[in-house]
Amino acid sequence: MRMVVLPGDGIGPEITEATVGVLEAAAQAFQLRLELEHEVIGLESHRRHGTTVMPGLLERVRAADGLILGPTSTLDYREGDANQINPSMYFRKGLDLFANIRPARTYPGLPAKLGQFDLIVVRENTEGFYADRNMEQGNSELLVTPDVVVSMRRITRACCLRVARAAFELAQRRRRKVTAVHKANVLRIGDGMFLACCREVAKDFPDVALDEIIVDAMMAHVVRDPARFDVCVTTNMFGDILSDLTAEMSGSLGLGGSLNAGAESAMAQAAHGSAPDLAGQDVANPLSLVLSTALLLGWHGRRTGEVRFIEAGGAIEQAVAEAIGAGEATRDLGGRLGTRAAAAAVTARLTNRR
Ligand code: NAD
């Protein structure tokens, strides 16, 4: 499996280095043939090459079997500067990574204030309220007058159908329940179409139950009784917000693993941002990117039929759970370890497994 590794900004380099250590331990334990191609992205790329994403990088990633992308400080990028592209948008759009898979679960050893749960948010990833990726050319946020802004949301039947299908396929491997999260009471046409697509896809999965919840009420329901949810499918912006909430409910945003999956490519990327408040201090939780990479191994294994990759992904998830259970974790989880030591606690469990 050939992977491109792009560390990013802020805590990106630290958590990426930690993740690569875990990945290499898993490769050794499961005899995976891995080839890692390291490249710069984001502000480091801008410093060295004058652009946040080097020309030709998309093709290199497309030719590989997977991408690990660290978080980037996109809020600091200059709007409208062609050399300060948002890498996350660039790869999601360029590789058509339409389904963003974001699991969240409780762990033994961490306080489960809301009870035990294990759910996945499946978020549409290529359109919706993301003004920077909605248009063939330009941006769908318009300054009409100095005091009037129009931000447009794009919803297409094709994108709704394919993300709904991804959610139902996932639910079939789990507890067979999909919840469509929407705002069809207000966004009657767009979310109405999203809901209609979920219902249409549901007909192909008679063994999977579908229920529907309005997004604002969902914020109450998921906090009140998270155990009732299995796979939650939703549009782009709602999914972004919901999945940060569910990651934090699981113990920390630093546990927010996330896979951006398309038909041909996939990208492991933590759910959180570049956490500039923690950068360079060896305190950030690396497990979000570690768990994202475990998802990428599973994706590759299912795609190629190479079961060892699926097993390696599962073993990383188990090693993470064991390390957390033993209190060998970063301070956001109540532990005392730094970034490197927390990753080493996972690596040791992979190396010593029988
Ligand atoms: P953030 O997700 O970086 O941080 C939010 C909070 O969570 C902070 O308190 C931070 O310290 C904490 N946190 C985040 N990751 C953590 C980790 N691994 N371990 C422990 N604590 C962690 O959000 P923000 O501060 O709003 O954004 C910072 C920058 O990241 C901005 O420039 C933003 O545009 C960018 N961003 C990038 C991505 C991405 O690359 N995919 C996603 C979201 C935000």
Residues annotated as catalytic (active site), given as ranges: 130, 183, 216, 240, 244
Q: Which of 110-124, 135-149, 207-221, 301-315 has the lowest mean pLDDT?
A: 135-149
| Residue located nearest, by CA, to atom 10 of ligand 1 | 275
- Predicted confidence at residue 133, as pLDDT, reads 83
Q: pLDDT per residue over 183-228, tens digit each?
A: 999 999 999 999 999 999 999 999 999 999 999 999 999 999 999 9
Q: Which of 67, 100, 274 to mutate to test the pocket of ligand 1 (most atoms within 8 A of CB)?
A: 274
Which residues have a Cβ under 8 Å from the Cβ of 45 and sit 6 or more positions away?
39, 51, 52, 53, 54
Q: Is the pLDDT of residue 343 over 80?
A: yes
> Which residues 6+ apart lie within 8 Å of 292 measured at CB?
19, 68, 257, 258, 259, 268, 269, 270
Give 79's pLDDT tier (boundaries 50, 70, 90).
Answer: confident
288 CB within 6 A, ligand 1? yes
- State both tokens at 93: 């759009």
Q: Say if ligand 1 is within 6 A of residue 79 CB.
A: no
CA atoms within a 13 Å half-sphere pointing along the CA-CB vector of 283: 11
The pLDDT assigned to 354 comes to 58
pLDDT of residue 146: 97
Per residue in 153-179, pLDDT (tens digit) is 999 999 999 999 999 999 999 999 999
CA of residue 270 to ligand 1 center, whole Å: 9
Contact assessment for residue 164 and residue 271, using Cβ atoms and an 8 Å cutoff: no
Give Cβ neighbours of residue 103 (< 8 Å, ≥ 6 apart). 118, 119, 120, 121, 257, 291, 295
Question: For a pocket test of ligand 1, which of 72, 253, 292 has the largest count of ligand atoms closer than 8 A to its C-beta?
Answer: 253
284 touches ligand 1 (CB under 6 Å):
yes
Instruction: Give the DSSP H or E segment for 308.
Output: helix 307-325
Q: Tally DSSP H helices, then E strands, for the chain.
A: 11, 12
Q: How many CA atoms lie within 13 A of 344 on its CB side?
A: 6
